[in-house]
Structure 1
Amino acid sequence: MCGRKELSLDILHEAMIKLLEMEESQVKNVQLGSLFTGIMARDPSVEEITTLLRAAFYKDGSPNNEEKHRIELPNNAKLISSVGSGKKGIKTINISTTSSIIASSLGSYVAKPGSSSVSSLTGSSDLLEETGVNINLPLEEMVQVLKITHFGIFKIENYLKHFGNLYNNKFFTPHVLSYGLAALASPVKVDKLLYGFAHYDVEKSLDVLLNFGFKDLLICSCTSDGIHYIDEIGVYGENRIIGARNGLKGRLKTFQPTSLSPVH
């Protein structure tokens, strides 16, 4: 598996489903971890990642953005999503949730996929639950909350039930599904996506998410040492950003925050 010989996508899809259908056991966990580790070690192709992500959703509905629940907003407003891959190399508090709340307070409509912490100090679900927010509302009720407050939190574990039960709390570093899983777990269709990926290859993450119907999106990551990455734009080290507009890819940009000129 670690060589560069192309894998059969049909066999890869079938292998993933066979693994997910195994009874829960240590053997299953080892085999799933071995598959993900082997694929990452050989530098997965966009097609291989896409295939595995589609297999992961085979009992949880379509991962395609265009096939998700569409929210009709006033004045044809755009719906934004901000979510991170998790599995970051430096442990931080949850930032995407607070930034989403700030954006919604300024008039944007934000659908925030949320989950409990695995690698961070706090996950988005943890942060909101600690403040008393009911994050377990049914989909239609949360949609109404979003329309009224401009902010809705959609707990990933409530919508990715089958795969989530098999996957949660088993992986602590970026793996082959991290290229897009958290973004695809949202139950609602979004117009614009900001995806933080705790890995250097943000361009491959962009290519994967374009395969799932996203048209307007930005992918970002940050590292201070070229080894440990966080799934957000950082205030130190090297930031990597790439995006697409109307489905057309832009160029990868890297920058150091200290090199930016102050805005007057």
Structure 2
Amino acid sequence: MLPPSSDDILYEVRGPKSWECMTSAELAGQLAMTDCAIVPVGAVEQHAGHLPLGQDNFQISEIVRRSVLQLAHENRHVIFGPTIPFGPVSNVRFAGCINIRPSTLAVLTKEVCLNLHRDGVNTIVLAMGHDLSLGALMVAARELTEETGDRLRVIVANWLPYVVSLLPQVFTDLPPGARDGHGGAGETARMLAQHPALVRMDLARDYHVAATRSATPFAHPVTAGGGVYIPRATTIRDEAFQGILGCPSLGTPEIGETLYDALSSWLSDIVREYCFGASESYNY
């Protein structure tokens, strides 16, 4: 590996500006046009040797960025909110993981949302970018609505069930019965499309786990649209597992663009329906 250089440009930040990138005056101008914001919620965790530790932050912020642009073209103004960069993670035997408790994430999320609400944001979409964060975000959303007397609406958007359905369609070369997940073809393709200089394909290694599905309806994980939640601190104990689940060798920038377009369009649909559509909804 070559030594790092101070002249290296690792990646560029594309517009529109997020909450962190705006000046206070610029943000005030945004708040004069809308009281809705999308907040990316990611994590810092290992993605084996070939993807950056901040993968989840990069990709959920990109999904939100594209969604904000899509909505702006329809004259639907939404603020690109600040990224919440940490969450609960598993497999901490790999270097670099920053693991926080779900209860800590719930409190952190509430604090961030209340600060946005103080400045005039009354509807917040929490765009979940890391599966283990889902429970904490749901708790935070419920408590915020109660504590503000419904003055603050908080919506949790989980795109993982959708991407699980997309992967077999875009990766037609997956081995029969194989799964693709953490650090695999999908995540690799998205990072190749977004920030290719951060990808070390020379360190990518496919790791195959046979995909099994119970005959019981919806007996798969909640994050993938099922009805079962089984938390584990270490998801795969096989020593040959190096943080990749799936086939990163199949990832291409072109497929990454396809996935980003689909996922950002899905998030835009959620915002249209729940932020600009019917004002009331019934939660089962």
Q: What interval of TM-score do these two structures reach, taking the shorter chain for normalisation?
A: 0.3 to 0.5
Provide the TM-score with structure 1 as the length reference: 0.33
Higher strand share: 1
Which structure would you say has the larger Rg? Answer: 2
> When the two structures are superposed, what TM-score results if normalisation uses the length of structure 2?
0.31
